[in-house]
Structure 1
Amino acid sequence: MERVQLPYVYRVTKYDPADRDELGHYTAAEDTVSDHGEVEAAYLQAVLEFAVEAGIDRLVVREPQVPSIGQFGLEPPVRGFGLEGLFSAGIAGFHDGAEVPLDMGLELVRLMLRDSGAWCRLEAEGAFAVHVGWDQYLYISTSRPCEEAPVRTRGLGLFPERLDASPYGFEDEEDGVQRPGDDGFWADLHRAVADGSAGILEETYLQGASRWHHLTRDTVDAIRAGIAPRARLAVWPPLSSDVDAVLGAIPAEGLVEGVWQDDEGHILSAIADETAFPELIARMRCALAAALLPVHDGEPVPLFTAVMPDDDGVLRARWRTEPTPRDREWALRHSRGG
């Protein structure tokens, strides 16, 4: 397991260390949500102070995510997770590898402080990183020690504390080779569509957000051209035209993901538990074709998967797909130079 972590880590909060018990737990009554006012402004100024001292004026979005089921924050949901007014392209502009000026990075920190739904790590590779944890805990990492920023942060009424590591630092938990969505992958996809084994493509463009594509010989190239940067891809068999059989396989309880094709040819999906099964069934009843997919690991699995590389062919995305048998075959051929 690899932890991507800069050596100087600061936890910045509004919680006085004097109000922590022997285990480090905060015991006073400071509110755990943003005040949308002076305290929030102090957090953002603290990030600015550390960034300026580190010589940073641009940041890169890493591991962006949105809630996939419901709203996880303590505050009311925000339309578009607050991203529509921040990125000109709305949520489409919020992707792994997106470079933003420092002032936009501060606005992303504001969204995270407010639990607006969108979350990410913001980094300047090898030099600076910032992200927000639960309950207004802010973590700033730098490649060299900062002397002035902690002093100025205390002057803002906040408490910067040195840590060995952030509990939210990225950890690479997977071994093995990740297949890239390169020319070889798309050639394999063309062949799978031609022989009838592949029918839909799942594009996870943010953690928690996916879109689906109907695969035909005529659509593969156009789909490739529209895939989001660094997206995860999963190739699935065609949907079943026996919609009644698919609906009959919905369990009595648990989570399922229904995927279906509507009468205009669009591929739709929804995740539901037993409380929402009636609504899911009603939505899928008139589908042209449908399938049920596991929400958690299990059967069935995709035919094969990949993660999109950057335009120069380098795979810089840190997230991975769960390898399928065909992915393992590809990895074996890759290791042998085939």
Structure 2
Amino acid sequence: MTEVVCRWWMVPADSGRLTTVLERVFAIGTAARVAIREPEVWGPAERWPVSEYHDGRLLTPDEAVSLVGVMLAGAEFWCRLVTDHVEVYVTEDAVYLGSYGSLDDLGLVDAEPVGSSPYAIDRAGFPYYPPADDEFWAGLHRHLAAGAGELLVLQQWAAGFGGERWYLVASAADLEAVRQDVLPRAVFAVFRRPRLVRRAPGSRQSAEAVLGDEMLLGGVRIFHRSSASVLLTAARVADDDELRRAWELLGERDALFSWDDDADPVYAARPDPDGQVRVAGAFQ
């Protein structure tokens, strides 16, 4: 879909004509399909199933209008909405419409011309991830076959903690289980030598002593493995007190991981069926 925008309009979120405006702009063109791009999930994952909200998912105009309403109502999900003619950004108090042509003939009386959207950025220079293709998976198989140690794999289909899936991979069978669980347009970060910290029973060491004083809380994960599955239950910590409590409660099937500058992951993205990678931008 075309994503070149040269003109912008703003519609207040409380405008009584917002729904009418959106219905008109989403109906432009013959295809009349709206794509989700760059989703962010900041609420519980179960509320935002990947089958409905992944990057590239095509919506009908009615579904897109409904999703705008959901984004205005709360801060758990965000995305760009893109068609061949327009793209839409939702903020707390306004909706921004971008187009590479004029929308004047639509009679959008409540749409105010503006210079840009607060979320508009230059995507032309975004790097594209290498593909998670057969060679990518073969390289991970070779790592395991060489006895180089377990892998920690993050599969992220949306920015934010609700868009993450973590896996602990120790064998070829584990890796195949991950490969069978690949999500549309997901990005992978593979940690070849993950520093997983497990708390010895009765240990008096503090989390700060184990991780270091300069750890970034945003990069800390608490993992729990509840069964033989390679999929881990992951939790973040909000502050130092929450980290200390999580560390003290760490069980024998739990581990603490810090994604710091020394982690050095390998990145890749799932290509579309035509072999092209269309996930661009910074890993979050």
Fold conserved (TM > 0.5)?
Answer: yes
Distance 1:176 1:48 in 2: 33
Write the deviation string for residues 297-335 of structure 1: whole angstroms up to 9, x where unpaired.
Answer: 622222x1111111221001123449xxxxxxxxxxxxx
How far residue 192 of structure 1 moved from its aligned partner, in angstroms, is: 1.6
Match of 1:243 in 2: 199
Aligned length: 267
Would you say the 8 A contact 1:205–1:231 is kept in 2? yes
Aligned to 1:311: 273
| Unpaired stretches in structure 2, ≥5 consecutive residues | none
Q: Distance in 2 between matches of 1:102 and 1:238?
A: 44
How many Å apart are 1:104 and its aligned residue? Answer: 0.6
Q: 1:129: Cα distance to partner?
A: 1.0
Aligned positions of 1:1-338 closer than 5 A: 5-13=4-12, 39=15, 42-54=17-29, 57-67=32-42, 83=48, 90-125=49-84, 127-133=85-91, 135-149=92-106, 151=107, 153-154=108-109, 158=110, 160-172=111-123, 178-195=129-146, 196-208=148-160, 209-215=163-169, 216-236=171-191, 237-238=193-194, 240=196, 242-244=198-200, 247=207, 248-251=209-212, 255=217, 256-265=219-228, 266-272=231-237, 273-283=239-249, 285-288=250-253, 290-294=255-259, 298-302=261-265, 304-321=266-283
Report the Cα distance in structure 1 between the residues aligned to 2:135 and 2:114, rounded to whole angstroms. 44
Contact 1:5 1:170 in 2 (8 A): no
Unaligned runs of 5+ in 1: 15-33, 69-78, 84-89, 323-338
User: 1:201/1:106 Cα in 2 relative to 1: closer, same or farther (>3 Å)?
Assistant: same
Amino acid of the residue matched to residue 236 of structure 2?
Answer: I
CA distance in 2, matches of 1:288, 1:305: 27
Instruction: Give how far 1:202 is off.
Output: 0.7
On the 8 A contact 2:127/2:281 being kept in 1, the answer is no
Superposed CA offset, 1:15-41 (max 9, x none): xxxxxxxxxxxxxxxxxxx6xxxx4x6
CA contact (8 A) 2:38 2:55 kept: yes
Q: CA RMSD in A?
A: 2.9
Contact 1:44/1:109 (CA < 8 Å) preserved in 2?
A: no
% identical equivalent positions: 22
Task: State TM-score, norm by structure 1.
Answer: 0.69
Please report the TM-score for the alignment, with normalisation by the length of structure 2: 0.81
Contact 1:121-1:131 within 8 A present in 2 as well: yes
